[in-house]
Amino acid sequence: MLAPSALVVVADGSSAHLYKNIGHETISLELLETITPHSLTHDEGLAGHSLVEQTPQDRGESGFIGQLVHKLNALALAHALPSEVVIVADPTSLGHMRPLYHAELKKRIVRELHKTMVKASAHDLALALSKA
C-alpha cells in the first residue's frame, strides 16, 4: 500500500509523468505534471522549485533521464518531495537512473517497478502498483 500523497514517477527515455496518490485504502493516482526534455530546461517544475543550473555539457551527457533524476534530487534536497516516492520505468531507464540518485532521494524511494508504463492510464498504473 502506498501512503496518501506518495509521489509516483513514471518515466522512459523521452518523457515522464508525476502522479500523487490520493487514495487512502486503495491506490488512486492524480496526474500532477508531465515532463519532457523541453520542460526540464524551461520550467520550474513540481512545487515551483527551480532546478539547479546545468551546463549544456551536463544536459548532453546525462540526457533526459539524467535531467529527470537531477530534478528529483533537487526537489529532495529542497525537502519538496513527500516521504514516499515510487519510480516506474523501463529496465534500461531504471538502470540509468539508479546510480544518479542522491542519498536524500534514495531515502524516499520505497519501491521501483521496472515496467514500461509511460503511456498507461492512471487506472492501469494503479493496478500495476497494487499487484507489485
Q: Is the full-model pTM beyond 0.95?
A: no
Amino acid letter for position 123: H
Evaluate if residue 77 carries a pLDDT over 90. Answer: yes
Evaluate if residue 53 carries a pLDDT over 80. Answer: no
Higher pLDDT, 113 or 38: 113
* Mean pLDDT of the region 90-107: 95
* Mean pLDDT of the region 99-117: 96
Residue 1: predicted pLDDT:
81
Tell me the C-alpha to C-alpha distance, in Å, between residue 50 and each of 43, 45, 71, 75, 100: 8, 7, 9, 9, 19
**In whole angstroms, what is the distance from residue 29 CA to residue 121 CA?**
10
Domains in the chain with CATH codes: 7-131 (3.30.420.60)
Residue 42: predicted pLDDT:
57
Q: Taking the CB of residue 74, how many other CB atoms lie within 10 A of it?
A: 20
